[in-house]
Amino acid sequence: MIPIEQMERLVKTHLNGHRLTHSYGVAQEAARLAKRYGEDPQKAYYAGLCHDICKMMSEEEQLQWIKRSAIMQDDAFFHQPPIWHGYAAASFLKEKVGETDEDILNAVRYHTTGRAGMSLLEKIIFTADLTEEGRDYPDVNTVRTLADVSLDQAVLYILRYQLGRLLGGSWPICRDCVEAYNWFLALETENPKRRS
């Protein structure tokens, strides 16, 4: 993990306006959730700060970064450009920044889709992305309330919300998102009062 100040300078060269404000909002919310749930707040802030570093790149650039990683994607993934930036960012951070912390890389990679078996940091970044102060969508207050009760419940709620939007728009659903939903649903079924 490079120093926060250095990452802030790098992020500012790749993002501006609303996207930069959002990244700082995610970083702050991630640090808050990290303190609440026992994760390293500095690591969470760092991952939140850089989660969208490739968001303003062209789709072609994002695809180039995705192809540099050895991670195999399904066809549905390639029909959803809005989710590419996280996967591209993980490759970018690994290659350009020298990031070696797999937990940070996974938190950035899966912040739009989730995945089965998410770590605490991954759940924090996934949730912070949709609960930071600047977010304004119909269910945001529900998600914020859930985030302070259980990250697992918040993630499952977000996944249901996202899947509903995708199904309503007749979008394909990538494997990572489906597997994340099934995994968190199984957790809820096994122990509906689980807190994490």
> Exposure string (b/e) for 29-58, b if CB count within 10 Å is 16 or more?
bbbbbbeebebbbebbbbbbbbbbbbbebe
Domain span holding position 63? 4-190
pLDDT at 124: 98
Q: Which positions of the chain have pLDDT values less than 50? A: 195
Helix ranges restricted to H, the chain = 4-14, 17-37, 41-50, 59-68, 75-78, 84-92, 102-109, 120-131, 140-147, 151-168, 175-190
The total number of structural domains in the chain stands at 1
Per-residue pLDDT, 74: 73
What is the pLDDT at residue 163? 87
Residue 195 in domain: no
Give me the CATH number covering residue 96.
1.10.3210.10
Rounded to whole angstroms, the Cα distance separating 107 from 44 reads 9
Render pLDDT for 81-136 as a digit per residue (tens, 0 to 9): 888 899 999 999 999 999 999 999 999 999 999 999 999 999 999 999 999 999 98
| pLDDT at residue 131, as a whole number | 95
> Does residue 196 sit within a domain?
no
Residue 195 pLDDT: 47
pLDDT of residue 83: 84
